[in-house]
Amino acid sequence: MSRSEIPSAGKIAKVTCIGGGVIGAGWAAHFMRAGLDVVVYDTAAERESYLRESLAKAMPALIELGMAPSASPSRVRFTTNFEEALDGANFVQESATENIDAKIALIARIDANTAPDVVIASSSSGFLAAHLRSRAQRGERILIGHPFNPPFLVPLVEIAGGEGARQAAADASAFYRSTGCEVVELEREIDGYIGNRIQYAVLREVLYLMSQGVADLEAIDRAIAAGPAIRWAVMGPSSVFFLGARDPSLYGKFVEGLDREMKSGYMAPASFQPDAELMQAYAEQVKSSIGVDGQARLMALRDVGVVGIRGVLQRARVKLDGSHSR
């Protein structure tokens, strides 16, 4: 993506990120790339050094994705002063620890310290907006803006809770899109939203295969990465399955076959429930095989790979759109 391909962020010029951990720092990098002023708040002063290190590590990917002309790490500021962080904010992205009671209290506090027209979006990975806004005075501007980690690299943002915050959902969608996000709005709330529920369904199958001794985790990862994941990078599973029928008119029959296969044992049985012992064995096998050399190489591969995939897909879409318009 070239710099010129990043749209203007419109009337929103300052974003406050509440929470300076992995997700908060990732959001700061994303909003900075879009040319916005960013303030990151955290109660722990040492999070500032983590933020700066995270931004520095993200810079090669951000530059490759395309920086807005005015984008600069110098426009990202850190503070431990809550009121100062929210002063003049046009949009708030909450990314504090995933604790429901703490989030409800924090969001009520954010609500009390921001102008009434400012959207407050939570990065929660599974909580319902209906619960998070329960103690706020202006709950109609509070919703879920769930990213995938890291937010500066993976473009998806899921907006949930919009049925109780229609205008806020519309405003948040427009804003996220203006910064380069791929926005998916849920028609109704559900625990875990869409992406995480799909991820956990896949993880459950991985755990079942491991528990049955079918293959080790490194082999299972390769089978996914070199097979379905490559197609999923281009299109979702329903699109993939649609292309599996030799003729669109036969897709109904094709789906009947999918149904038979699911019922015949292609999925872990409903009775399979991973227990603490299996989860610990899973963690140990990941650390001793996939993660034996730490995170640095895997992280570098992820960053370079995702940036490359996004660039190739963007060029492919432009080429296809151009050929269809002729």
Strands (E) across 3-151 are located at 14-18, 37-41, 76-79, 91-94, 119-122, 142-147
Q: What is the DSSP string of 191-239?
A: TTTTHHHHHHHHHHHHHHHHHTTS--HHHHHHHHHTTHHHHHTTS-HHH
| Cα dihedral 87, 92, 94, 100 sign | positive
> Do 176 and 271 share a domain, yes or no?
no
DSSP helix/strand/coil, 37: strand
> Do 164 and 244 share a domain, yes or no?
no
Q: Could you list the pLDDT tens digit for every one of the 326 residues in the chain?
A: 333 343 334 689 999 999 999 999 999 999 999 999 999 999 999 999 999 999 999 999 999 999 999 999 999 999 999 999 999 999 999 999 999 999 999 999 999 999 999 999 999 999 999 999 999 999 999 999 999 999 999 999 999 987 889 999 999 999 999 999 999 999 999 999 999 999 999 999 999 999 999 999 999 999 999 999 999 999 999 999 999 999 999 999 999 999 999 999 999 999 999 999 999 999 999 999 999 999 999 999 999 999 999 999 999 999 998 877 66
Report the pLDDT value the prediction gives residue 241, as an integer from 0 to 100: 96
> Do 104 and 214 share a domain, yes or no?
no
Report the pLDDT value the prediction gives residue 87, as an integer from 0 to 100: 96
> Do 162 and 135 share a domain, yes or no?
yes
> Do 61 and 105 share a domain, yes or no?
yes
Residues 76, 56: Cα–Cα separation, whole Å: 12
> Do 130 and 76 share a domain, yes or no?
yes
Range of the domain at 60: 3-185
> Do 228 and 282 share a domain, yes or no?
yes
> Do 126 and 66 share a domain, yes or no?
yes
The CATH number given to whatever domain includes residue 169 is: 3.40.50.720
> Do 171 and 138 share a domain, yes or no?
yes
Report the pLDDT value the prediction gives residue 40, as an integer from 0 to 100: 98
Residue 160 lies in a domain: yes
> Do 128 and 108 share a domain, yes or no?
yes
Report the pLDDT value the prediction gives residue 326, as an integer from 0 to 100: 63
Residue 260 lies in a domain: yes
Report the pLDDT value the prediction gives residue 194, as an integer from 0 to 100: 96
Report the pLDDT value the prediction gives residue 1, as an integer from 0 to 100: 36
Report the pLDDT value the prediction gives residue 325, as an integer from 0 to 100: 67
